[in-house]
Amino acid sequence: MSEISKRLREERERVGISLDEIARYTKIPIKYLHALENDQFHTLPSSAHAKAYLGKYIDLLGLPRKQLLALYKAEQYEFEAVVPHTPISVFKKISKNTIVFTTSQGVIIIAAFLSFLLLFYIYAQLHTLLASPTLILTSPAEGENITEPFVTVEGKTESDSILFINGQKIDVESSGDFREKIALSNEHSQQIIVTAENKISKAKTEIRRGIISKTSEPSLNSLLESPVPTSLSSVKLQIRVTQDVTITVTKDGIRKPEILVKNTVTQLYADTKISITSNKPQYIYVKYNDGPEERMGTSGTVTKEWPKPK
């Protein structure tokens, strides 16, 4: 097993998250998550998919993105072998007589060959320059049920292309990655249209995804929240996160890993105490029993506990 597959599996098992939970949050098909954890990168649709899926998985687990992507690249090249080429004579002997070219004939042949190479190079460059941009849409999935009033659209295209989501121009990062939250209408069935346009030729690549809006159903963070507190609830926490984070929550002795979405607020209630463990404490802000909001930590893995007031 490769080192990067081993790191992904060990970190996921350490924080106690199942592959089903990872697949539900990242929208990566579970068969590809199995491939990432079992050194089966060749089963993924393309190297672009492999890098995109790895990046999402690494970010979710809070692992160093640049280091692990560099490790992935090194491991992929490790198994490449240089195949020796057997020299082939330019001229094949067809008779006992030696084929003789005059200087002028040689110059003409070389000039024609170089002209062909130049024309082929110009054609290839123009084709690349004017072709429709590459476009990969990793989220949302076709037919996905959306329980928020917005949908997160993310994927990858060429960095110099113009990107539109439902007709709205979207910024693309220098790496070609894009991620944008799009507000949904009140319609039950909706369509997300992502278009990448070549700046010069205006050639377009378009992907359409149908989704189901279920804004009346509970969101991911609402599943984490306890029922409406009673007078017996002695510990109250309000958690605000500024980045997507994975945490482990222990309420009254019951431990459960959870995923919190960027820019959301979650309420927790317990009778005796609540403890939280996270490897991204710098993005977590906690308000304890209506007190002032405080950041959970600055870096590394941090565990904090909030007990019942005396």
First to last CA, the chain: 52
Q: Residues 254, 191: one domain?
A: no
| Runs of H (alpha helix) within 131-239 | 220-224
Q: Residues 155, 227: one domain?
A: no
Q: Residues 233, 291: one domain?
A: yes
Residue 96 is assigned to a structural domain of this protein: no
- Give which of 115, 153, 149 is closest to 136, Cα–Cα: 153
Q: How many domains does the chain fold into?
A: 4
Residue 251 is assigned to a structural domain of this protein: yes
Q: Residues 70, 16: one domain?
A: yes
- Give which of 212, 281, 272 is closest to 241, Cα–Cα: 281
Tell me the pLDDT of the chain (310 aa) as tens digits. 688 888 888 888 888 888 888 888 888 998 998 888 888 888 888 888 888 888 888 888 888 888 888 888 887 766 444 334 444 344 444 445 555 567 777 888 888 889 888 888 888 777 777 788 899 999 999 888 888 888 899 999 998 899 999 888 888 999 999 999 887 777 778 889 999 999 888 888 999 998 887 764 444 444 344 444 544 568 899 999 998 888 888 888 887 878 788 888 888 888 889 999 999 999 999 999 888 999 999 988 999 999 988 7
Q: Residues 140, 127: one domain?
A: no
Q: Residues 123, 142: one domain?
A: no
pTM, full prediction? 0.34
Residue 185 is assigned to a structural domain of this protein: yes
Residue 55 is assigned to a structural domain of this protein: yes
CATH number at residue 52: 1.10.260.40
Chain-centroid distance, C-alpha 254: 31
DSSP element (H, E) containing 182: strand 177-183
Residue 84 is assigned to a structural domain of this protein: no
- What whole-number distance in Å separates Cα of residue 23 and Cα of residue 40? 17
Residue 98 is assigned to a structural domain of this protein: no
The pLDDT assigned to 69 comes to 85
The pLDDT assigned to 106 comes to 80
- Which residue range(s) make up the domain with 113? 103-131
Q: Residues 185, 149: one domain?
A: yes
The pLDDT assigned to 228 comes to 46
Residue 243 is assigned to a structural domain of this protein: yes
Q: Residues 174, 237: one domain?
A: no
Query: How many Cβ atoms sit within 10 Å of the Cβ of residue 237?
Result: 18
Q: Residues 192, 249: one domain?
A: no
Query: 181, 213, 245: which is the final residue of a domain?
Result: 213
CATH number at residue 199: 2.60.40.10
Residue 90 is assigned to a structural domain of this protein: no
Order of all β-strands in the sheet with 135-139 = 135-139, 150-157, 177-183
Q: Residues 226, 303: one domain?
A: yes
Residue 143 near residue 210, CB atoms below 8 Å: yes
The pLDDT assigned to 212 comes to 87
The pLDDT assigned to 274 comes to 92
- What whole-number distance in Å separates Cα of residue 91 and Cα of residue 99? 8
Q: Residues 143, 126: one domain?
A: no
CA dihedral 39, 42, 47, 53 (to 10 degrees): -50
Q: Residues 124, 173: one domain?
A: no
